[in-house]
Amino acid sequence: MKKIKILKKLTTSLVVCSIALLLGCLSTEKKENSSNLIKELSMNLSEKNSSGVQGKVVFSQKNNLVSMVSTLSGLTPGSHAIHIHMKSDCSSDDGKSAGGHWNPTSEKHGKWGDLEGYHKGDIGNFLADENGNATVTFVTDQWCIGCDDEKSNILGKSVIIHQGEDDMISQPSGAAGSRISCAGIIK
């Protein structure tokens, strides 16, 4: 029941952000009621390495939970990795201008939640369908949008989609292959 409510809110957020983008706005902030503030950011993913992969990423924060919904197209069917990287710079053709994984706590690379450690940017893997489309949903209380905690603040970082699957073992990045799409997380 809780997941259904979250999905309904995420769907509503996607519609709101789509309208905002059409009006030329990249971020919105609104009050749900006097005590809860909802923050939202929406950005387009751009192809890297001539991949043809495009999409959209929407981040929403309500209280201490941040949700991320990415919709992607142009992927090869199968498993791909998605990470948050250190810089919001997606200017290079290969996506390497975004730097390495966002790792503000200096942990080793691993699967999200692993007791032996993981980067705050280690979101994980997702499956693209036979048409090359995918939707990735992720929710955490370890991120924030624009807060003062540099170990949690995702602003100024980027979302990177990789050609391959993250093996969750190889250091420092999981051997996920080339960067095929990028979006800077900016207001």
Give pLDDT tens digits for 13-52: 444 444 343 333 343 344 443 345 668 999 999 999 999 9
Those residues whose C-beta lies under 8 Å from the C-beta of residue 64, and which sit 6 or more positions away, are 141, 144
Pull the structure tokens for residue 142: 């370890």
Pull the structure tokens for residue 121: 């940017």
Supply the mean pLDDT for the chain.
83
Measured at the CA of 177, the angle between CA 183 and CA 114, to 5 degrees, comes to 85
Average pLDDT over residues 156-171: 91
**Reported pTM:** 0.78
**Predicted pLDDT of residue 37:** 63
What is the extent of the structural domain holding 7? 2-28+37-184
Read off the CATH number of the domain in which 109 is found: 2.60.40.200
Domain count for the chain, please give it: 1
Task: Give kind and range of the element (H or E) at residue 63.
Answer: none
Give strand pairing partners of 135: 71
**Predicted pLDDT of residue 28:** 39
Contact call for residues 135 and 72 (beta carbons, < 8 A): yes
**Predicted pLDDT of residue 113:** 87
Question: Does 6 score more than 60 pLDDT?
Answer: no
Q: Which tens digits make up the pLDDT trace of 108-134? A: 888 888 888 888 888 999 999 999 999
Question: Does 54 score more than 80 pLDDT?
Answer: yes
Contact call for residues 97 and 157 (beta carbons, < 8 A): no
| CA Rg value for the chain | 16
Give strand pairing partners of 24: none
Distance CA 87, CA 3 (A): 31
